[in-house]
Amino acid sequence: MALLEFQQVRRDFEVDGAPARTVLDGIDLRLEPGRTIALTGRSGAGKTTLLYLAAGLLRPTSGRVLFDGRPLGEIPADELALVRRRRIGLVFQNNLSLSALPVWENAALPLLLEGQTAAKSKAASIEMLERLGLADYADRPTTVLSGGQRRRLGLARCILGRPDLLLADEPTADLDEVTAADIERFMFEWLTANGHSAIIVTHFESIERAADQVLRLENGMLAPNSKSPSR
Ligand SMILES: Nc1ncnc2c1ncn2[C@@H]1O[C@H](COP(=O)(O)OP(=O)(O)OP(=O)(O)O)[C@@H](O)[C@H]1O
Ligand SMILES: [Mg+2]
């Protein structure tokens, strides 16, 4: 069974009584457990909208989104919040709830909450921070981080929380292309090796080979990226 499935999903947006605009149209997508998707498309193509639909934070205008075979629209709100907390990791710049704790501790929260020792949690956290280029900030308060650094911290925390499904919106957008591509490649490989599924929005063509599937949003529709090698 697919972990995540979009069935003929359409999403319209209405702004100030103007006629509704269709942003996504007839989206069909299947994400199997342990598989990853790199999602590309121009600004405004609907990438963030698609991630919100996948997380159940937005409802389709028509069509269905299924998680583990269950339509998200049929899961009661409180249960959906639990599913999101336990099984879906979200990395969006605007909704990161980071406390003023040191950076390493913020990243390690899932491990600490699981009951792992502080020493073990810190070691795992520092290793992940190193891999994501944030090691220099490990002992600093989270408040000193830039927006892009916060997003990467959110990513570190998400990965350490081992969600079944990771949804990340351009997690490395603050970095130069070489570093970003390196980090994203590591991320895709780590996720796949550990049996996690993910949809990651990326602008980097060079990263696309590390994902199982590369999809491009264009004119509201999803297409395989013609630039990606077939595999
Ligand atoms: N809540 C909303 N109300 C009205 N229109 C919206 C809303 N959210 C998104 N849109 C519109 O939907 C379209 C797609 O937006 P979306 O944020 O999904 O694009 P994107 O591909 O993530 O772009 P970017 O690369 O710039 O982040 C845009 O035209 C945007 O204005
Ligand atoms: Mg976006």
pLDDT at 230: 42
Order of all β-strands in the sheet with 62-67? 21-31, 4-13, 62-67, 70-71
Mutate to test the pocket of ligand 1, among 14, 27, 39, 47 (most ligand atoms within 8 A of CB): 47
Q: Name the fold adopted by 4-224.
A: Rossmann fold (3.40.50)
Question: Whose C-alpha lies nearest to ligand 1, atom 24?
Answer: 43
Q: What is the pLDDT of residue 65?
A: 98
Does 23 sit in the ligand 1 pocket, CB within 6 Å?
yes
46 lines ligand 1 (CB under 6 A): yes
CA distance 192 to 77: 30
Amino acid at 162: R
Identify the pLDDT of residue 141: 92
**Tens-binned pLDDT, residue by residue, of the chain (231 aa):** 899 999 999 999 988 888 899 999 999 999 999 999 999 999 999 999 999 999 999 999 999 999 999 999 999 999 999 999 889 999 886 656 667 789 999 999 999 998 999 999 999 999 999 999 999 999 999 888 888 888 899 999 999 999 999 999 988 888 888 888 888 888 888 998 999 999 999 877 666 678 888 899 999 999 876 544 444
Contacts of 90 (CB under 8 A, 6+ apart): 51, 55, 84, 158, 167, 168
- pLDDT recorded at residue 177: 84
Residue 5 Cα to ligand 2 midpoint, Å, equals 20
At residue 185, the pLDDT reads 87
